[in-house]
Structure 1
Amino acid sequence: MLRFILRRLGASIGILFAASLLLYVLVINSGDPLSELRESNAENRETLMQRRIEFMNLDMPWYMRYWTWLVGVGKCFTLQCDLGTSRQGVEVNSLLALAAGSTLRLVLLATVLAAVLGIAIGVLTAVRQYSGLDYGVTFITFLFFSLPVFWAAVLLKEYMAIGYNDWIKDPAFSPLQIIVIALIVGFLMQVFLAGTIKRRIITFAVAAAFVAVVIPYLTWLNFFRYPQLGFGGILLLGLGVALSGTAMTVGLRNTKVLYPAVATVVLGAIIYFVTFGLLESPNWYILIAGAILAVIIPALLGKYMGGHLRGPAMGVSIVTGLVMAALTAIDHIFRAWPGFLLLKPRPIATIGSQTPNFAGDFWESFLDKGTQLLLPTILLAIISLASYSRYTRSSMLEVGQQDYIRTARSKGLSERTVIFRHAFRNAMIPIATIAAFDFAGLIGGAVITESVFGWRGMGELFRTGLTQVDPAPVMAFFLVTGTAAVVFNMLADIFYAILDPRIRV
């Protein structure tokens, strides 16, 4: 295994070196960095040209300039990176830190969202192969995948930003809108839940009636401007997660898994009251500590209450604990929403990563950055959704034909157990590879998205450097995106080899 890892590491370093050299040569030969100064009539033109020559080392041969950059990158191993200066004399290290932080915040959330939704959709369509749901989801996911990024961004700006901002001033639904929404929800629910004709009709009627009652009630409460989750909502949703998680893993009759999950909900409800004042104005350290405790405490409950099923018990309890922690945070976010609307009456922004000079408390600032993040995250997520859903579907179908799956069914195991405890785990092996590729690809592929939404991230760093024939910002972009692509590729190979020893040879 060590030899396999070293071989992959050596190949990765060679690829990075060759790619960086090629990119550097292409950038420096794409134009003249002094072109606009040569045409200038300014009296200090010669001084400006000389200063730019010094900033960009244009008095050196190209291979010496590349070697200087390579030496500066080598210093990163001692945490003293020297990526040079831009043609304006700004340190590229500082530009890269700001750009990478902005882009990683965007790409990480989009990748997680796309992976979770895509895998869930893939499993569902594999179970319901060749059904109307399968064909419909296939059409929609590939439609999203085929959308031009700039065009989809314009649609999101028009309907999810401008339209929503106009509507939130006085949120209301006409009778016709309520009827249409109720019919759509009823139709989708009967498609997802399936069953006999009678069951489909009942599902459609119940879902449509529920929506037709809930929307006017929420409007009457002015929920969209003053949203509330409350203790009751957190408790009910937490119990729902505990029950559904237990049902999907071992079944509700198995109390070894059910009890620690329910105990996690009860403990989370107690913590909600204990920490209420602390979370009214928290900081990131408090939230991170809470997330860690939301994993450790449920894991201990699952371990000591799960008995011979401690593995599934720990898994369900941890998921329940994380959901309870997230619901607690969402409750405080809801409470901050009215104050946020007073500071920012048009909440969904169409450009930028945060509102300049925004003056609000922790949760209001969180909402400001979150609403700025909303549209580009949705755009990147729907583009990646098709890959995850189709790979998960094909992997589930392939695993479903294996002998051990037929053996599990012949032993009398329930279909839920066969799917989630046997097929799903093995089907996730190739998905781990796709996730690694997708995360690395999104970092480099967010250039257009960042340009459309005015994000000062890696995309702008690359575009500005290329436009100005300035290799330093472009090479900084490559250092992050290229390294991420190669490293994640290598990690995917290693992870695959760990799971399947045949890959090593």
Structure 2
Amino acid sequence: MKQYVLQRFLQMIVILFGTSFIIFFLFAMLPGDYIDSNINLTPERAHELKALYGLDQPVLKRYFTWLGNAIHGDFGYSLKHQEKVTSLLNKYVWNSFIIALLALILTWTIALLTGVLSAIKQYSWFDGIVTFFVFAAMSFPSFFISLLFIKWFGVDLQILPIGGMIDTGSEAGGLAHILEVVKHMILPVAVLTLLSIGSLTRYFRTGMLEVVRQDFIRTARAKGLKERTVIFKHALRNAILPAITLLAFELPGLFSGAIIIEQIFNWPGVGKIQLESVGFRDYPVLMAFTLFLSSLTIIGNFLADITYAAADPRIRLK
């Protein structure tokens, strides 16, 4: 087990370096940059800035310089925001992480319970209602559901704020500040959860339906085990295995998928910074955030491989 973990860890490091190479060269191949797109700069000043930030160097030399700085936590300087990339992202990435993580926990909890119950009660009224709402949630685009929730809960009922992270002009601190943030994050988290829950619920339902028909489940029931034990101890542990792979991609997907949600609800997350960076060709910010999402995916796959053993003892990690 230790040897396997060490081997996978070394593979993860190699993949991460390879990913950084691809990311840097893809952005280096894009035409122009922030300096080229700034029409207020004279050619002399633009040439001076390129020399100052090393943009006139060969691409390979620039990559190794960027990589060496990145290893030490320095991902360059944002010309658009006139701030270090690490400091800039640190201001906003945690705001996005809060809603992404909470939406991930809610999505998996609700999808797991409803998917298992739908499989157990196949073709029942509960299964029909779940199927209806699942396909309804998957049918509407994110901006439509967001605007609908804003109208219902923010405008008509006036029970939830329609945007921002805190109230305008608020100076609350301590517990009052936390409760204020929680109140503002209800709508964006609800929309993210609703958009992600549909496909995952169907995934769990299909997996459970395949498992409950297998011989070892009939054997467990023949032994007189309680139905709860048969479903949640024997069937679920086998049905959840394919879903572990999905977990490795859920968190990066929520970060990238929350960009539209953050714009609609004016949530001060990293999505706004990313869109601004695309418009102004602020490549250092884009490279750092893309590498961040890639790292989450690579680490998620690493953890997924290890989690297989905990979910199914039959899998031997050697």
Same topology, TM > 0.5: yes
Amino acid of the residue matched to residue 33 of structure 1?
A: Y
Residue in structure 2 matched with residue 34 of structure 1 by the alignment: 35
2:63 maps to 1:66: yes
Counterpart-to-counterpart distance in 2, 1:451 and 1:135 = 34
Amino acid of the residue matched to residue 411 of structure 1?
A: K
Query: Is this contact kept in 1: 2:36–2:46, CA < 8 A?
Result: no
Counterpart-to-counterpart distance in 2, 1:458 and 1:147 = 24
What is the CA deviation profile of residues 83-130 of structure 1, one whole-angstrom value per residue up to 9, with x for unaligned ones? 111114311111121122111111011001111111111111011112
Counterpart-to-counterpart distance in 2, 1:48 and 1:418 = 72
What is the CA deviation profile of residues 249-301 of structure 1, one whole-angstrom value per residue up to 9, with x for unaligned ones? xxxxxxxxxxxxxxxxxxxxxxxxxxxxxxxxxxxxxxxxxxxxxxxxxxxxx
- Aligned pair partner of 1:86 in 71, 78, 92: 78
- Aligned pair partner of 1:146 in 139, 150, 174: 139
Amino acid of the residue matched to residue 216 of structure 2?
A: Y
Residue in structure 2 matched with residue 109 of structure 1 by the alignment: 102
- Aligned pair partner of 2:152 in 129, 135, 159: 159
CA RMSD of superposed structures (Å) = 2.6
Distance 1:32 1:83, change over 3 A: closer
Counterpart-to-counterpart distance in 2, 1:464 and 1:11 = 34
Counterpart-to-counterpart distance in 2, 1:95 and 1:11 = 30
What is the CA deviation profile of residues 31-57 of structure 1, one whole-angstrom value per residue up to 9, with x for unaligned ones? 3422443x33xxx74675366435643
Distance 1:48 1:449, change over 3 A: farther
Residue in structure 1 matched with residue 46 of structure 2 by the alignment: 49
Counterpart-to-counterpart distance in 1, 2:139 and 2:18 = 32
Distance 1:10 1:361, change over 3 A: closer
- How does 1:201-220 map onto structure 2 within 5 Å? none
Query: Is this contact kept in 2: 1:55–1:87, CA < 8 A?
Result: no
Q: CA deviation at 1:421?
A: 3.7
Distance 1:122 1:53, change over 3 A: same
Residue in structure 1 matched with residue 189 of structure 2 by the alignment: 377
Q: CA deviation at 1:479?
A: 2.6
What is the CA deviation profile of residues 429-459 of structure 1, one whole-angstrom value per residue up to 9, with x for unaligned ones? 3333333321232123222222222233222
Q: CA deviation at 1:350?
A: 2.6
Amino acid of the residue matched to residue 78 of structure 2?
A: S
Query: Is this contact kept in 2: 1:396–1:424, CA < 8 A?
Result: yes
Q: CA deviation at 1:134?
A: 1.7
- Aligned pair partner of 2:232 in 406, 409, 420: 420
Secondary structure of 1:456's partner?
A: coil
Counterpart-to-counterpart distance in 2, 1:375 and 1:54 = 46
Query: Is this contact kept in 1: 2:33–2:283, CA < 8 A?
Result: no
Query: Is this contact kept in 1: 2:115–2:203, CA < 8 A?
Result: yes
**Gaps in structure 2 of 5+ consecutive residues:** none
Distance 1:67 1:349, change over 3 A: farther
Q: CA deviation at 1:412?
A: 2.6
**Gaps in structure 1 of 5+ consecutive residues:** 76-80, 169-347
Secondary structure of 1:490's partner?
A: helix
Secondary structure of 2:298's partner?
A: helix
Counterpart-to-counterpart distance in 1, 2:87 and 2:123 = 52
Q: CA deviation at 1:501?
A: 4.7
Distance 1:30 1:19, change over 3 A: farther
Q: CA deviation at 1:72?
A: 1.6
Residue in structure 1 matched with residue 268 of structure 2 by the alignment: 456
Residue in structure 2 matched with residue 277 of structure 1 by the alignment: none
Q: CA deviation at 1:383?
A: 1.4
Counterpart-to-counterpart distance in 2, 1:63 and 1:403 = 58
Residue in structure 2 matched with residue 8 of structure 1 by the alignment: 8
Query: Is this contact kept in 2: 1:24–1:471, CA < 8 A?
Result: no
What is the CA deviation profile of residues 394-428 of structure 1, one whole-angstrom value per residue up to 9, with x for unaligned ones? 22222212333212211233323322343334433
When normalised by structure 2's length, the TM-score is: 0.87
486-495 or 22-31: bigger deviation: 22-31
Secondary structure of 1:123's partner?
A: helix
Counterpart-to-counterpart distance in 2, 1:6 and 1:85 = 34
Q: CA deviation at 1:64?
A: 2.2
Counterpart-to-counterpart distance in 2, 1:10 and 1:422 = 34
Residue in structure 2 matched with residue 438 of structure 1 by the alignment: 250
Query: Is this contact kept in 1: 2:247–2:300, CA < 8 A?
Result: no
Greater Rg by CA: 1
Counterpart-to-counterpart distance in 2, 1:485 and 1:8 = 14
Q: Which has the higher contact order (CA 8 A, sep 6+)?
A: 2
What is the CA deviation profile of residues 290-332 of structure 1, one whole-angstrom value per residue up to 9, with x for unaligned ones? xxxxxxxxxxxxxxxxxxxxxxxxxxxxxxxxxxxxxxxxxxx
- Aligned pair partner of 1:399 in 171, 188, 211: 211
Counterpart-to-counterpart distance in 2, 1:102 and 1:51 = 36
148-157 or 419-428: bigger deviation: 419-428
When normalised by structure 1's length, the TM-score is: 0.57
Distance 1:463 1:140, change over 3 A: same
- How does 1:467-478 map onto structure 2 within 5 Å? 467-478=279-290
Query: Is this contact kept in 2: 1:384–1:438, CA < 8 A?
Result: no
Amino acid of the residue matched to residue 156 of structure 2?
A: G
Counterpart-to-counterpart distance in 1, 2:237 and 2:196 = 21
Amino acid of the residue matched to residue 430 of structure 1?
A: P
